[in-house]
Amino acid sequence: MYTVDNKSYPCCTSVTMRFIGGKWKAVILHHLIGGAQRYSELRKSIPTITERTLSLQLKQLEEDGIVNRTVFTDKPPLVVEYQLTDFGKTLLPVLEAITKWGQESPAISKKIIRN
């Protein structure tokens, strides 16, 4: 049994999914593997995500300590960058495995067609 934020989880897999589960978190993290990105860069690289969803997911990832948000306010316009924290970087092997599976799966499954 595991506990995160006073909530119990039955196994280690459920803990992992608590941090990266859902439709968008792993996708956002995948785009941050290469380094810090501005909000607008993330929005352009994930065109099917809504602005509200991106904002909410980034906020959750920041609250969980997986993503660091840095605000540069020297002069307008306001610039905000997101990057993986050291804790977030521990997810790299998981994210790379997910990416590899996604790349290889069209060759194995007739359900998946790469456009």
- Which pLDDT does position 92 carry in this prediction? 95
- Which pLDDT does position 113 carry in this prediction? 87
Q: What is the pLDDT along the chain (115 residues), one digit of tens a residue?
A: 999 988 899 999 999 999 998 899 999 999 999 999 999 999 999 999 999 999 999 999 999 999 999 998 877 888 899 999 999 999 999 999 999 999 999 999 989 888 8
Counting Cβ atoms within 10 Å, is residue 23 exposed (0-12), middle (13-18) or buried (19+)? exposed
Per-domain boundaries in the chain: 2-99
Q: Which fold has domain 2-99?
A: Arc Repressor Mutant, subunit A (1.10.10)
User: Would the pTM of this model clear 0.85, i.e. be above it?
Assistant: yes
- H or E element, residue 4: strand 2-4
- Which pLDDT does position 95 carry in this prediction? 92
Contact in structure between 4 and 21 (CB atoms under 8 Å) = no
- Which pLDDT does position 76 carry in this prediction? 80
- Which pLDDT does position 55 carry in this prediction? 95
CA-based end-to-end distance of the chain: 42
Counting Cβ atoms within 10 Å, is residue 63 exposed (0-12), middle (13-18) or buried (19+)? exposed
- Which pLDDT does position 79 carry in this prediction? 87
How far is it, in rounded angstroms, from Cα 83 to Cα 32? Answer: 6
